[in-house]
Structure 1
Amino acid sequence: MRSKTELRLTPRQRLSRGLKYSTIGPVDVTRGALGIGVDSARSSAAWVGDRYRRSELARQLKAELSAAQETVAAELAAAQEAVAQLPDTLTKGRRTRSRKRTLLIAGVGTVVLAGGAAAFVIVRRSTQPEPSALEPSVEVTPKP
């Protein structure tokens, strides 16, 4: 029994079938050869286009990479300069601080810490249940 839909042959199958059968051979051989030629031309064009896109992308990436390298080099130079000036900056900062300001900050820190501890104790005590004034309804000491 034959199905109503015919399967489409690939150019390679058409060429081999054309060589196999002598009655429809010349037509299938011609169509198969043309199909293989068209497929190979399409594949070659796709390969050339892909290579072109890759080369364009590579050029763009090289340009972006060189710009990024320049930026990183500038940032690294700025960081090296900042590190070189760090000891001078630290000594200037130490000279300008006063002893009174340090003691004031330490005192404020101590007061805040003590206030936090007091608040913690008050909250902790308020969350604990108070013992009941009633006698227990169950005997505390069990009988043997």
Structure 2
Amino acid sequence: MDYLLTLIVPVALAICVLYGNKNLGNQDAFMNKEFTRALKGACCIIVILVHIPLAYANKLQDGIGSFAYVCVTLFFIMSAYGMNISASRSPAYLRHFWRNRLSALLIPQLLVNLSVVVGFVLINIINGGVSQASLP
């Protein structure tokens, strides 16, 4: 049963990447934004499979995870390709790149941190106060 559940992930990835792209026969769609985004997502999921703790791993997961090094390389190659295309279309792209990326990363990170702190405070209030040693 464990292997069947693990097999769902690569089958779902194959369906999403191969059949999810409606432009399979269109040569202009090769390496476009939609196609590379789907491939980068598939690469990310395969890398996530490698980071599951060993206590929950199986041989199928290890086999899929052996492609993680290739997936990391593909992710960076496709990201660099997209940056190159964007920079060639708009010279101002690189000038605003860090500002756009930092705002896309820092704002959600701050919201998550704030919600975790509020959650801990609410748990402390509900439980009548928790000692410092029990906090992570």
TM-score, scaled relative to structure 1: 0.29
Q: Which has the higher contact order (CA 8 A, sep 6+)?
A: 2
Structure-2-length-normalised TM-score: 0.30
Question: Rg: which structure is higher?
Answer: 1
